[in-house]
């Protein structure tokens, strides 16, 4: 049973009367790293694989927190892969993330496959100096996440209760159809716009449908475990990642400063003199040492995100590998469970 | 002779320098150098990084300390260098008159200040008393004290290029020799040739430094021998949130 929001919800900087319609659950998929395949391109584009790998989890974690803070949504879940039973699915590709600029190509679709957002969000870092702000208030790209949140809410506001209800039902049926296509596919159809519609809906006491719901609950068990992992990762990595981004910004700014200063001043030393050679070498040395310090930081990131084994409470299943692999494995197990226990 | 062990190929600079102790005339030296080059050696002034190396690279990893006995004595090299510059600026001179004054000015392609400046600068960057080299199948990192590490990621054995606003660096393998070429601002070029001796006990780093303001490059050859760092029983990895996380190596093996 989904709770109806019938009270005033405090949003940062505003007071809004929540609408009397069901809240949608949101599933956010870990972001696409958009990692250049060859190391040379990575180097040229200044993409650091270890950091990007961390960002693919960190950035959606922050979006999740932003959406939760808004109070406009039901459960907001972060998953390693697409949620086949998502009511509202958010996916994004990291186009640029270098500390100074963040560019995300974001797509949000509801269960009927209606596109809510297909937009590129780009912004530059805004430094925050307040120490008293909550965790959300300290991100230099907070305003970008707030913009995404506002766009989603704007779209949600255009929908009536019936439409929201339909989205929720389609989500359940799509999950069921994924689990047992031969049983549940006939419940769904496509309209002329390529959106899912419901042809009929199973009875509440339909044993097949009840079983699907149970399986879905099992999946939530795993998602909760994953969610804890993501949250723990987010909390652990945030101070470090903030530092890394700050360092990158300072590095980029000081490089630009140095170039400008030299262009303005010219080389004070006579060309070819010892001092001119030292100046030339020291500039290069400085740039290389900065790069190498960054490499060491990257190494630190890699060590933070080593995959962790997860053992479920009942000890029946031992999932290991990366979260994506664990999620795939778990879904396979659930599918087998469904097939085994059905009459 | 140079098609054999890389260590021999590298030693061309040394051979010429050692020969020069016998005070051969400059043209004789040039002829010897020409013969050596014809025999397949590469000039220390114009080595080339191979675009592709089809075979395994040598393993240079380890801790290295400078062998001062074998390494170039800078004072001697500086004198030879002045001799070379003088010869280039005054081709008519046999270059052996050490008492002749160095008269090149900027118009002639260099000044005493630039020549001495280049030599002084070279002496500084070639000190490198100890090195720590880490290497795997696709990368090598040469850590030097108080300087940036020479780092090369040889993707498919191809030349790797690193660019910064203050200069560019190319690195790669020329046979079994590792080369770094730094092209910096103000016409400064630094070329490192790193070669391991056939028995793996010695390492040579030949550094050639040139400036657009000076007519001849200066080359310094340094030798290194391995040294053992006391065995550390503790393994540490760097993590960002917990800094270095260390544990006893024995614990790790028992896990």
List domains and CATH numbers for chain B: 6-229 (2.40.128.20)
- The least confident of A128-137, A268-277, A278-287, B62-71 is A128-137
Read off the pLDDT of residues B184-193 as tens digits, 9 standing for 90 and up. 988 999 999 9
What mean pLDDT do residues A300-315 have?
A: 49
Higher pLDDT, A274 or A331: A274
Note the pLDDT of residue A265. 58
Query: Which band of pLDDT confidence, cut at 50, 70 and 90, is reported for residue A175?
Result: very high
Q: Return the DSSP state at B159.
A: -
Q: How far apart are CA A279 and CA A287, in angstroms?
A: 12
pLDDT at A187 over 90: yes
Are residues B165 and A259, on separate chains, in Cβ contact within 8 Å? yes
Going by C-alpha positions, the residue among A174, A153, A172, A156 that lies closest to residue A164 is: A156
Q: How far apart are CA B181 and CA B184, in angstroms?
A: 10
Going by C-alpha positions, the residue among B218, B149, B222, B163 that lies closest to residue B188 is: B218
Cβ pair A111, A69 in contact under 8 A: no
- The least confident of A30-44, A234-248, B142-156 is A234-248
Cβ pair B152, B181 in contact under 8 A: no
Beta strands at B139-144 and B243-248: parallel, antiparallel or unpaired: unpaired
Cβ pair B144, B131 in contact under 8 A: yes
Cβ pair A167, A88 in contact under 8 A: yes
Kindly report the nearest CA distance between residue A225 and chain B, in angstroms: 22
Q: How far apart are CA A58 and CA A233, in angstroms?
A: 8
Give the start-end residues of each E strand in chain A. Answer: 8-11, 14-17, 26-29, 76-79, 88-97, 101-110, 115-124, 188-190, 196-198, 310-311, 318-319
Return the residue of A nearest to B188 by Cα: A277
Burial (CB count within 10 angstroms: exposed 0-12, middle 13-18, buried 19+), residue A255 = middle
Note the pLDDT of residue B153. 87
pLDDT at A35 over 70: yes
Note the pLDDT of residue B248. 63
Is the pTM here over 0.80, yes or no?
no
Query: Which band of pLDDT confidence, cut at 50, 70 and 90, is reported for residue B54?
Result: very low
% residues pLDDT > 90 (chain A): 36
Note the pLDDT of residue A13. 41
Q: Return the DSSP state at B57.
A: P
Q: Scanning the structure block, which residue is given the tokens 């896990």?
A: B255
Contacts of B240 in chain A (CB under 8 A): 237, 240, 297, 300-301, 303-304
Chain A to chain B Cβ contacts (< 8 Å): 109
Are residues A270 and B113, on separate chains, in Cβ contact within 8 Å? yes
% residues pLDDT > 70 (chain B): 59
- The least confident of A98-112, A183-197, B49-63, B151-165 is B49-63
Read off the pLDDT of residues A99-137 as tens digits, 9 standing for 90 and up. 889 999 999 999 999 999 999 999 998 876 444 555 555
H/E stretch holding A41 reads helix A39-44
Residue A148, both tokens: 């995404």
Q: What residues contact A57, with CB distance under 8 A and at least 6 apart?
A: A30, A31, A78, A230, A233, A234, A305
Note the pLDDT of residue B36. 36
Contacts of A39 in chain B (CB under 8 A): 153, 155
Note the pLDDT of residue A15. 43
Are residues A280 and B167, on separate chains, in Cβ contact within 8 Å? yes
3-state SS string for A48-99? CHHHHHHHHHHHHHHHHHHHHHHCCCCCEEEECCCCCCCCEEEEEEEEEECC
pLDDT at A314 over 60: no
Please tell me which of A102-106, B25-29, B102-106 the model is most confident about, judged by mean pLDDT. Answer: A102-106
Higher pLDDT, A277 or B12: A277
Are residues B240 and A296, on separate chains, in Cβ contact within 8 Å? no
Read off the pLDDT of residues B204-233 as tens digits, 9 standing for 90 and up. 999 999 999 998 899 999 999 999 876 666
- The least confident of A300-309, B30-39, B126-135, B194-203 is B30-39
Query: Which band of pLDDT confidence, cut at 50, 70 and 90, is reported for residue B28?
Result: very low
Query: Which band of pLDDT confidence, cut at 50, 70 and 90, is reported for residue A228?
Result: confident
Contacts of A259 in chain B (CB under 8 A): 165
Note the pLDDT of residue B100. 42
Note the pLDDT of residue A128. 60
Note the pLDDT of residue A266. 55
Read off the pLDDT of residues A14-27 as tens digits, 9 standing for 90 and up. 444 455 789 999 99
What mean pLDDT do residues B99-110 have?
A: 44
Mean pLDDT taken over chain A: 79
CA of A88: how far to CAs of A106, A126, B208, in Å? 13, 29, 63
- The least confident of A65-69, A256-260, B184-188 is A256-260
H/E stretch holding B93 reads none
Are residues B214 and A271, on separate chains, in Cβ contact within 8 Å? no
Nearest to A39 among B110, B153, B167 (CB): B153
What mean pLDDT do residues A253-282 have?
A: 75
Query: Which band of pLDDT confidence, cut at 50, 70 and 90, is reported for residue A63?
Result: very high
Are residues B213 and A267, on separate chains, in Cβ contact within 8 Å? no
pLDDT at B29 over 70: no
Nearest to A281 among B188, B213, B237 (CB): B188
Note the pLDDT of residue A81. 87
Q: How far apart are CA A286 and CA A293, in angstroms?
A: 11
């Amino acid at each position: 049973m989904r709770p109806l929001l019938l009270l005033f919800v405090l949003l940062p900087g505003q007071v809004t009367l929540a609408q009397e319609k069901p809240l949608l659950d949101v599933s956010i998929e870990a972001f696409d790293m958009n990692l250049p395949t060859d190391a040379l391109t990575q180097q040229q584009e200044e993409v650091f694989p270890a950091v990007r790998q961390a960002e693919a989890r960190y950035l959606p974690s922050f979006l999740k927190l932003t959406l939760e803070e808004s109070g406009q949504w039901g459960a907001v879940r972060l998953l390693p892969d697409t949620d086949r039973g998502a009511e509202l699915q958010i996916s994004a590709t990291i186009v640029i993330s270098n500390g100074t600029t963040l560019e995300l190509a974001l797509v949000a679709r509801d269960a009927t496959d209606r596109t809510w957002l297909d937009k590129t969000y780009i912004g530059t870092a805004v430094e925050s100096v307040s120490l008293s702000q909550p965790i959300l208030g300290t991100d230099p790209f907070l305003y970008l996440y707030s913009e995404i949140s506002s766009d989603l809410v704007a779209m949600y506001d255009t929908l009536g209760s019936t439409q929201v209800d339909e989205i929720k039902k389609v989500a359940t049926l799509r999950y069921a159809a994924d689990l047992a296509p031969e049983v549940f596919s006939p419940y769904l159809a496509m309209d002329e716009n390529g959106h899912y519609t419901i042809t009929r809906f199973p009875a509440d006491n339909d044993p097949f449908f009840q079983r699907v719901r149970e399986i879905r609950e099992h999946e939530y068990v795993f998602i909760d475990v994953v969610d804890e992992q993501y949250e723990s990762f987010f909390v652990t990595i945030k101070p470090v990642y903030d530092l890394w981004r700050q360092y990158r910004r300072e590095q980029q700014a000081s490089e630009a400063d140095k170039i400008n200063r030299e262009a303005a001043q010219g080389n004070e030393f006579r060309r070819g003199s010892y001092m001119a050679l030292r100046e030339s070498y020291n500039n290069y040395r400085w740039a290389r040492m900065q790069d190498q310090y960054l490499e060491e930081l990257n190494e630190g990131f890699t060590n933070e995100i080593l995959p962790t084994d997860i053992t479920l409470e009942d000890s029946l299943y031992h999932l290991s590998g990366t979260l994506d692999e664990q999620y795939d494995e778990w879904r396979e197990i659930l599918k087998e469970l469904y097939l085994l226990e059905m009459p | 002779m140079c098609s054999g062990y890389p260590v021999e190929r590298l030693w061309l600079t040394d051979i010429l320098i050692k020969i020069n102790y016998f005070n051969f005339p400059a043209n004789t030296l040039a002829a010897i150098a020409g013969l050596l080059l014809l025999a397949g050696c590469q000039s220390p002034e114009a080595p080339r990084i191979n675009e592709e190396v089809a075979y395994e690279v040598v393993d240079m990893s380890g801790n290295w300390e400078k062998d001062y006995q074998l390494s170039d004595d800078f004072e001697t090299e500086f004198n030879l260098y002045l001799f070379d510059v003088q010869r280039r600026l005054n081709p008519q001179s046999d270059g052996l008159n050490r008492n002749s004054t160095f008269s090149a000015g900027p118009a002639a392609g260099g000044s005493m200040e630039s020549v001495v400046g280049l030599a002084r600068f070279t002496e500084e960057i070639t000190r490198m008393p100890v090195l720590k080299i880490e290497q795997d199948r696709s990368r090598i990192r040469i850590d030097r004290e108080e300087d940036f590490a020479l780092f090369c990621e040889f993707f498919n054995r191809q030349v790797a290029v690193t660019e910064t606003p203050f200069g560019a660096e190319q690195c790669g393998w020329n046979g079994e020799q590792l080369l770094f070429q730094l092209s910096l601002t103000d016409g400064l070029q630094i070329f490192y040739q790193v070669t391991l001796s056939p028995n793996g006990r010695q390492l040579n780093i030949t550094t050639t430094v040139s400036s657009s303001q000076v007519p001849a490059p200066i080359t310094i050859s340094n030798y290194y021998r391995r040294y053992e760092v006391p065995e550390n029983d503790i393994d540490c990895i760097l993590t960002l949130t917990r800094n270095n996380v260390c544990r006893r190596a024995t614990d790790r093996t028992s896990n």
